[in-house]
Structure 1
Amino acid sequence: MAISQDQFDRIARELPGFGRDPASIRRRIEAMEAMLEGLFVIPGTNRRVGLDSLVGLIPVVGDLATAAMGAWIVWEARNLGMSKWQITRMAANVGVDTLVGAIPFAGDLFDFLYKSNTKNLRIIRKHLDRHHPATVTIDA
Structure 2
Amino acid sequence: MNEEPRLQAMGLEMPTGTDPVSIRRRIEAMELLLERSFKVPGTKIPVGLDSIIGLVPVVGDIIAAAMGAYIVWEGRNLGLPKWKLARMAGNIAIDTAVGAVPVVGDALDFIYRSNTKNLRIVKKHLDKHHPAARTITQ
| TM-score for the superposition, normalised by structure 1 | 0.85
Partner residue, 2:106:
108
Amino acid at match of 1:63: D
CA apart distance, 1:85 = 1.1
| Aligned partner of residue 71 in structure 1, secondary structure | helix
Partners of 1:57 and 1:30 in 2: how far apart?
A: 23
Q: Does 1:22 align with 2:20?
A: yes
Please identify the structure whose Cα radius of gyration is greater. 1
CA apart distance, 1:45 = 3.0
Q: Of residues 104, 121, 130 in structure 1, which corresponds to 2:119? A: 121
Amino acid at match of 2:130: H
Partners of 1:110 and 1:76 in 2: how far apart?
A: 26
1:12-66, Cα deviation, whole Å (9 max, x unpaired): xxxx810111111000000000000000222343321000000000011100000
Amino acid at match of 1:95: A
CA apart distance, 1:86 = 0.6
Runs of at least 5 residues in structure 2 that lack an aligned partner in the other structure:
1-13
Partner residue, 1:11:
none
Partner residue, 1:71:
69
Partner residue, 2:8:
none
Amino acid at match of 2:102: P
Q: Of residues 57, 60, 75 in structure 1, which corresponds to 2:58? A: 60
Partners of 2:33 and 2:46 in 1: how far apart?
A: 10
Aligned length: 125
| TM-score for the superposition, normalised by structure 2 | 0.86
Partner residue, 1:135:
133
| Aligned partner of residue 113 in structure 1, secondary structure | coil
Partners of 1:45 and 1:132 in 2: how far apart?
A: 37
Amino acid at match of 1:124: V
Amino acid at match of 1:18: T
